[in-house]
A and B are shown apart, each in its own frame.
Chain A
Amino acid sequence: DIVLTQSPDTLSLSPGERATLSCRASQSVTSNYLAWYQHKPGQAPRLLIFGASSRATGIPDRFSGSGSGTDFTLTISRLEPQDFAVYYCQQYGRSPKSFGPGTKVDIK
């Protein structure tokens, strides 16, 4: 099984700052089938990025994904108040299609 590790566990930043979140896989992710989600309490997760770098429909361009193989990054260029949430990566190239443990982005 592919195990995903996310760092840091928590990122404390102010609105307007840049956020850089890391996701590392225990094995190479097939065809860069790597997604990022935003999850807020009481809501369903929201797909931000699929295929490592493609933005999902309606996602603002301040969200960007990069990486390949085993190392992936989600960047939020300028944090807006509504961006403070938990972010998960997920690999979907091989079953079981695992999620990482999440990175919490909170307000400094």
Chain B
Amino acid sequence: EVQLVQSGAEVKKPGESLTISCKGSGYSFTSYWITWVRQMPGKGLEWMGRIDPSDSYTNYSPSFQGHVTISADKSISTAYLQWSSLKASDTAIYYCARPYASGSLNDAFDIWGQGTMVTVSS
């Protein structure tokens, strides 16, 4: 079964660092980009950025560039989303997602992780 399994919910304080993960299984991890998507409380979906796990090449939305870091370790089929200094406004559900077909153009997502809830509060 093709799946993405994300790390568990996190509660952090402003200014703390955090890394959440997304482990792929059931397919060739290096053949498909992984994208991260944010959903703030009561709001819609936002495309944050993506990574090609084969070479760790990344694309970021300008809205998120410089605020988060996307990385991957292909040896363990895992992608990461990292913050160096969290803000209360980072409180959200974060999803990782895989496109329906390989190749950089096919960025409609048919495989999603279960989501990781990140709460940032003092």
Contacts and interface: CB of A to CB of B under 8 A. Distances in A.
Interface of A: 1, 31, 33, 35, 37, 39, 44-47, 50-51, 56-57, 86, 88, 90, 92-93, 95-102
Given A88-B45, A99-B46, A45 B109 contact: yes
Interface residues of B, number: 24
A99 B100 contact: no
7 contacts: A45-B45, A45-B109, A50-B108, A96-B62, A99-B45, A100-B44, A102-B45
A35 B60 CA distance: 20
Interface of B: 35, 37, 44-47, 59-63, 95, 97, 100, 105-110, 112-115
A45 B95 contact: yes
B44 A47 contact: no
A14 B95 CA distance: 31
B95 A96 contact: no
A33 B103 CA distance: 14
A44 B108 contact: no
A56 B109 CA distance: 10
Nearest to A95: B59
Given A1-B62, A33-B105, A50-B100, A57 B110 contact: yes
A92 B44 CA distance: 17
A57 to B, nearest CB: 7
